[in-house]
């Protein structure tokens, strides 16, 4: 059979042999191209997981450091939780390092003795993971994959034993699960976990999966350490330090109003109210409320003590002292946008007078208009470069009093930023501002160009009037196309449709009009097609 088949092949003409060889080469090249994209994706995920592992490890070290610090200050309460934390950290490090050794063995099997974890050469090797993680057929040995599964299951049982909250315990059981997914068909359930994870798996994919397992292990460690840190004082109602506290409504009050403060004892027994003395006299209420009138501006000190009856009949006394300041009426005026007003638009303004309700406050403005809007105000200045003054009056005790004024500078709105509006896979609206790859399908779905100021201080939409796109042909010649207002024209859409992966074009000569009525020439966008 083999001999006749070889003779048949030998009877092929040179042209047929050449065509067959070209087909094989082309198929291999196509497979390599597809594989390259997938492998690059795994590399990116691997890098992201490695960064995440470093972050979680640093966070867990901080939590363990807090347990150590608490134990140094209070060994009686902290030692038990530090010992448990030390045990969890030790078991976690053992499993984490074991997984690390498996990752290195897989890369070493794929790349040889000079293997480098940070630069895997044979990422598409599908045999290395199987050789390292799965036992040879008929050997009867468990294999590293089964050992890893056993250790993960033991670790899962170990860490969940420290959690009393069933939701947290269930969450960690899910994170560290070694069950084979059932949704992929009945044939999948016939595989073991290690076969499902590593059989015929490319080298970079197997390394990424193991890094993800390390991430899960570190996450479980952090959850348990955080629980230990919470348990240090959980339900701790013991009182070994009693202090007096003065809680004023405000340390600064306006002349003509009342100063009010609550004087309390920390961790009091509600069945045994403390007795409060201020400036030598006992308060006339059992709630510790201290109130005095304020007739003139200045700073006033007061002091006293709190007495509480203990269970053994002894009286405990704690001294306290505090002060309050009485000020004359004063208005506070502030612009919510960098203390600068912008001409031609509505600027939100906050005006408040301590101790005076909003309904009793009035305000006026020069170089524009000032109107009330809900609990705030809206200033609309007109002339750029000129100052505007906001003056405030308030009604107090039946009289209208001028309580202050503030001068603001008036500036022209800054130029907006052009962008392409699109929706991501989750339906969220995003803005593409150029300079990085942009999926071609999202580009083709975009209707046109928008512009806005969105620098986290201002959030103002502009209307795009017109723009140009500049494409380049194979000879490097620039081909400009004009938009249909703010929308892409059909010629622009056609040019975009022809672009290949990695090509770019520019959106320039963008004109946009803002709420101030000014039409501006704004910046250019570089669009890179992905």
Please check whether residue 4 lies inside any domain of the structure: no
Give pLDDT tens digits for 18-28. Answer: 545 554 444 44
Give pLDDT tens digits for 209-220. Answer: 898 899 999 999
Which range, of 83-87, 138-142, 189-193, 497-501, averages the lowest pLDDT? 138-142
Do 168 and 111 belong together in one domain?
A: yes
Look at residue 510 and tell me whether its pLDDT is greater than 60.
yes
* Overall number of domains in the chain: 4
Hey, which of 83-97, 234-248, 271-285, 344-358 has the most confident mean pLDDT? 83-97
Mean pLDDT, rounded, for 434-447: 93
Hey, which of 16-30, 241-255, 256-270, 354-368 has the most confident mean pLDDT? 354-368
| Closest residue by Cα to residue 341 from 321, 365, 312, 363 | 365
Structure tokens at 365: 């403005």
Do 449 and 341 belong together in one domain?
A: no
Please check whether residue 25 lies inside any domain of the structure: yes
Do 172 and 194 belong together in one domain?
A: yes
Could you tell me if 197 and 133 are in contact, meaning their C-beta atoms sit under 8 angstroms apart? yes
DSSP annotation string for 62-110? HHHHHHHHHHHH-HHHHHHHHHHHHHHHHHHHHHHHHHHHHHHHHHHHH
Q: In this structure, how many other beta carbons lie within 10 angstroms of the beta carbon of residue 487?
A: 15
Mean pLDDT, rounded, for 201-207: 87
Do 321 and 372 belong together in one domain?
A: no
Look at residue 359 and tell me whether its pLDDT is greater than 80.
yes
The pLDDT, as a whole number, for residue 238 is 40
Domain boundary among 208, 231, 254: 231
> 392 falls in which pLDDT band (50, 70, 90)?
very high
Cα-based distances in Å from 451 to 419, 454, 461, 465: 6, 9, 6, 10
Q: How far, in Å, CA of 334 to CA of 506, rounded?
A: 41
Look at residue 501 and tell me whether its pLDDT is greater than 80.
yes
Please check whether residue 303 lies inside any domain of the structure: yes
Domain holding 434, by residue range, is 417-529
Give pLDDT tens digits for 46-104. Answer: 777 888 889 999 999 999 999 999 889 888 888 999 999 999 999 999 999 999 999 89
Do 86 and 167 belong together in one domain?
A: yes
**pLDDT above 90 as % of the chain:** 39
Please check whether residue 129 lies inside any domain of the structure: yes
Do 164 and 219 belong together in one domain?
A: yes
Look at residue 37 and tell me whether its pLDDT is greater than 90.
no
DSSP annotation string for 395-433? EETTEEEEEEEEEEEEEPPPP-EEEEEEE-TTS-EEEE-
Structure tokens at 410: 């008036």
Q: How far, in Å, CA of 368 to CA of 362, rounded?
A: 16
The pLDDT, as a whole number, for residue 265 is 65
The span from the first CA to the last CA of the chain, in angstroms, equals: 51
Do 298 and 344 belong together in one domain?
A: no
The pLDDT, as a whole number, for residue 164 is 85
Please check whether residue 79 lies inside any domain of the structure: yes
Mean pLDDT, rounded, for 104-132: 87
> 4 falls in which pLDDT band (50, 70, 90)?
very low
Please check whether residue 501 lies inside any domain of the structure: yes
Q: How far, in Å, CA of 265 to CA of 281, rounded?
A: 18
Do 68 and 107 belong together in one domain?
A: yes
Do 146 and 180 belong together in one domain?
A: yes
Do 24 and 134 belong together in one domain?
A: yes
């Amino acid at each position: 059979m083999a001999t006749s088949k070889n003779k048949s092949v030998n009877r092929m003409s040179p042209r047929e042999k050449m065509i067959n060889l070209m087909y094989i080469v082309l198929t291999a090249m196509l497979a390599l191209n597809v594989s390259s994209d997938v492998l690059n994706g795994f590399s990116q995920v691997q890098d992201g997981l490695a960064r995440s592992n470093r972050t979680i490890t640093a966070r867990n070290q901080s939590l363990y450091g807090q347990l150590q610090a608490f134990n140094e200050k209070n060994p009686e309460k902290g030692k038990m939780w530090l010992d448990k934390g030390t045990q969890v950290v030790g078991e976690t490090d053992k499993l984490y390092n074991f997984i690390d050794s498996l990752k290195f063995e897989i890369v070493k099997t794929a790349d040889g003795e000079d293997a480098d974890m940070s630069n895997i050469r044979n990422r598409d090797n599908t045999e290395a993971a199987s050789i390292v993680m799965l036992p040879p057929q008929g050997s009867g040995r468990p294999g590293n994959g089964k050992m890893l599964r056993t250790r993960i299951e033991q670790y899962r049982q170990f860490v969940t034993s420290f959690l009393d909250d069933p939701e947290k315990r269930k969450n960690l059981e899910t994170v560290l699960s070694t069950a084979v997914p059932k949704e992929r068909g009945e044939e999948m359930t016939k595989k073991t976990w290690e076969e499902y994870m590593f059989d015929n798996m490319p080298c970079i994919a197997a390394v990424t999966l193991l890094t993800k397992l390390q991430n899960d292990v570190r996450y479980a460690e952090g959850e348990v350490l955080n629980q230990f840190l919470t348990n240090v004082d959980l339900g701790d109602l013991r009182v070994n330090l009693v202090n007096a506290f003065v809680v004023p409504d405000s340390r600064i009050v306006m002349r003509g109003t009342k100063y009010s403060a609550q004087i309390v004892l920390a961790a009091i027994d509600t069945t045994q109210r403390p007795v409060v003395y201020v400036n030598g006299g006992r308060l006339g209420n059992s709630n510790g409320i201290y109130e005095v009138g304020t007739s003139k501006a200045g700073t006033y000190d007061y002091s006293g003590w709190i007495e509480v009856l203990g269970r053994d009949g002894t009286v405990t006394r704690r001294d306290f002292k505090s002060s309050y300041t009485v000020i004359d009426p004063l208005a506070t005026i502030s612009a919510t946008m960098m203390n600068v007003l912008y001409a031609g638009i509505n600027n939100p303004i906050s005006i408040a007078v301590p101790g005076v309700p909003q309904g009793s406050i009035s305000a006026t403005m020069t170089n524009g208009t000032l109107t009330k809007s809900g609990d705030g105000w809206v200033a609309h200045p007109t002339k750029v470069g000129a100052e505007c003054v906001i003056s405030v009056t308030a009604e107090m005790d039946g009289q209208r009093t001028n309580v202050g004024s503030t001068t603001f500078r008036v500036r022209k709105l800054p130029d907006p930023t052009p962008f392409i509006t699109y929706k991501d896979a989750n339906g969220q609206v995003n803005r593409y501002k150029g300079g990085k790859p942009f999926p071609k399908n999202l580009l083709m779905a975009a209707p046109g160009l928008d512009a806005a100021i969105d620098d986290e201080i201002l959030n103002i939409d502009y209307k795009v009037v017109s723009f140009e796109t500049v494409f380049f042909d194979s000879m490097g010649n620039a081909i400009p196309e004009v938009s249909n207002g703010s929308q892409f024209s059909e010629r622009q859409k056609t040019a975009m449709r022809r672009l290949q992966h990695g090509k770019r074009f520019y959106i320039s000569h963008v004109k946009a009009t803002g709420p101030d009525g000014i039409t501006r020439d704004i910046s250019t966008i570089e669009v890179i097609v992905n």
